[in-house]
């Protein structure tokens, strides 16, 4: 087998995969079908490769691999599909492919945990995200929720330190410590939906992970407040991650950072977000006109109890938060 000079990586990978599938030993040029599929899944992380991979006929080959007895074939074939599903146009075509959707559904119950995770992730992006995109214009941030930590597995050690430091500061945190898998994608979705702020552990591996992208894009769809934490020194967010973060300023949590200073900055940034979110609570259905009047009466008649309640029941942690809440309370009372 020879390749012409002008052929690109996508064409070469797909030619190798087709030849390996047709060979008796499942190899081409020494590479197994699973190794080639793994490489294809990797180059599928690049946005500009997605259309070329799909249009070059990768899906039929993936379907063959998804029926394989070899779990690694099934795993990397579903990972290719998962990566391609982040493209809206391709996603619609994947959903219209009934044979592919049946395969993904079957593999979502696979005995191999990684295969199960990958298939469920692909299904979630294809089916769930489409529904959420339709609702994004009416999405409402849940006030006074937790802080969610979204990270790639290699950053877990640092993120566990961040988690502990935030909890020591009295901040409620949600963090997956068992590596979010397919069976708990719904738990991830609910964690995002109920979050006030989402911390994203920025790194090249985060950008390449379909799990992380699923979390991050769902966070963006629901218009949640995002604080980027830089996990990798000298890394500049690019591709979909760079577009999602835009010009947001990140906090350094890379290997050589001053961890204590970074935590202090993170807590300041979280506190700067939460007063605005807590003001929303005043307008929440929990506080009707009668209760608003009672709050103001309590403020006048029992100020010590009133201010103690703000700290205890609404979890205010600073004078700035209390002052902003009082301002919102006065505005609502004057309406």
Question: Domain for residue 208, yes or no?
Answer: yes
> In which band, very low, low, confident or very high, does the pLDDT at 320 lie, cut at 50, 70 and 90?
low
Question: Domain for residue 279, yes or no?
Answer: no
pLDDT of residue 307: 78
Each residue's pLDDT tens digit, 8-32: 888 999 999 999 999 999 999 999 9
What is the 8-class DSSP label of residue 125?
I
Contact (CB, 8 A) for 90 and 56 = no
Total count of domains within the chain: 3
- Within this chain, do residues 121 and 38 fall inside the same structural domain, yes or no? yes
Each residue's pLDDT tens digit, 218-232: 999 888 899 999 999
- Within this chain, do residues 270 and 290 fall inside the same structural domain, yes or no? no
d(CA 70, CA 61): 14
Q: Is the pLDDT score of 138 beyond 80?
A: no
Question: Domain for residue 140, yes or no?
Answer: no
d(CA 233, CA 128): 34
pLDDT of residue 145: 76
- Within this chain, do residues 151 and 112 fall inside the same structural domain, yes or no? no
- Within this chain, do residues 18 and 119 fall inside the same structural domain, yes or no? yes
Q: Is the pLDDT score of 45 beyond 50?
A: yes
Contact (CB, 8 A) for 198 and 148 = yes
Produce one character per residue of 69-108: b if its CB has 16 or more CB atoms within 10 Å, e if not.
eeebbbbbbbbbbbbbbbbeebbeebeebeebbebbeebb
**pTM score, whole prediction:** 0.74
- Within this chain, do residues 266 and 160 fall inside the same structural domain, yes or no? yes
Q: Which residues span the domain enclosing 291? A: 285-333
pLDDT of residue 274: 64
Angle 261-267-272 (CA atoms, 0-180°, nearest 5)?
130
Question: Domain for residue 228, yes or no?
Answer: yes
Mean pLDDT confidence for 300-314: 74
Q: Is the pLDDT score of 3 beyond 80?
A: no
> In which band, very low, low, confident or very high, does the pLDDT at 334 lie, cut at 50, 70 and 90?
low
Token couple for 262: 């970074």
Mean pLDDT confidence for 80-101: 96
Diameter over CA atoms, the chain: 88
Each residue's pLDDT tens digit, 124-133: 999 875 555 4
Question: Domain for residue 49, yes or no?
Answer: yes
- Within this chain, do residues 213 and 244 fall inside the same structural domain, yes or no? yes
pLDDT of residue 18: 94
Contact (CB, 8 A) for 86 and 41 = no
Q: Which residues pair with 27 in a beta bridge?
A: 32
Question: Domain for residue 1, yes or no?
Answer: no
Which of 134, 155, 187 is the last residue in one of the domains? Answer: 134
- Within this chain, do residues 129 and 88 fall inside the same structural domain, yes or no? yes
Rounded to the nearest integer, the mean pLDDT of the chain is 84
- Within this chain, do residues 160 and 209 fall inside the same structural domain, yes or no? yes
- Within this chain, do residues 171 and 236 fall inside the same structural domain, yes or no? yes
pLDDT of residue 208: 94
Q: How far apart are the first and last CA of the chain?
A: 78
pLDDT of residue 202: 97
Q: Would strands 146-150 and 195-202 be described as parallel, antiparallel, or unpaired?
A: parallel
Q: Is the pLDDT score of 182 beyond 80?
A: no
Contact (CB, 8 A) for 137 and 188 = no
């Amino acid at each position: 087998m020879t390749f012409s000079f002008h052929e690109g990586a996508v064409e070469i990978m797909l030619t190798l995969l087709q030849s390996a599938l047709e060979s008796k030993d499942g190899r081409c040029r020494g590479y197994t079908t699973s190794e080639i599929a793994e490489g294809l899944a990797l180059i599928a992380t690049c946005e500009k490769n997605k259309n070329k991979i799909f249009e070059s006929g990768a899906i039929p080959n993936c379907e063959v691999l998804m029926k394989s007895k070899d779990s690694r074939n099934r795993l990397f074939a579903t990972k290719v599909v998962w990566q391609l599903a982040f493209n809206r146009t391709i996603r619609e075509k994947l959903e219209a492919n009934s044979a592919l959707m049946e395969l993904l559904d079957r593999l979502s119950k696979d005995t191999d945990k990684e295969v199960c995770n990958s298939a469920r992730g692909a299904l979630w992006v294809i089916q769930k995200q489409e529904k959420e995109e339709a609702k994004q214009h009416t999405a409402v941030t849940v006030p006074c929720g937790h802080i969610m930590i979204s990270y790639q597995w290699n950053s877990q050690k640092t993120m566990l330190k961040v988690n502990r430091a935030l909890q020591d500061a009295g901040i409620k945190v949600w963090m997956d410590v068992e590596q979010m898998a397919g069976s708990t994608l719904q738990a991830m979705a609910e964690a995002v939906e109920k979050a006030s702020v989402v911390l994203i552990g920025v790194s090249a591996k985060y950008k390449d992970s379909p799990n992380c992208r699923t979390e991050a894009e769902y966070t963006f769809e629901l218009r949640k407040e995002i604080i980027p934490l830089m996990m990798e020194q000298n890394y500049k967010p690019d591709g979909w991650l760079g577009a999602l973060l835009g010009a947001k300023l990140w906090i350094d949590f890379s290997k050589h950072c001053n961890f204590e200073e970074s935590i202090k900055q993170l807590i300041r940034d979280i506190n700067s977000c939460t007063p605005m979110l807590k003001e929303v609570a005043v307008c929440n259905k929990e506080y009707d006109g009668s209760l608003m009047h009672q709050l103001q009466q309590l403020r006048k008649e029992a100020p010590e109890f009133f201010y103690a309640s703000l700290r205890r029941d609404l979890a205010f942690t600073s004078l700035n938060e209390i002052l902003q809440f009082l301002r919102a309370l006065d505005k609502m009372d004057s309406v």
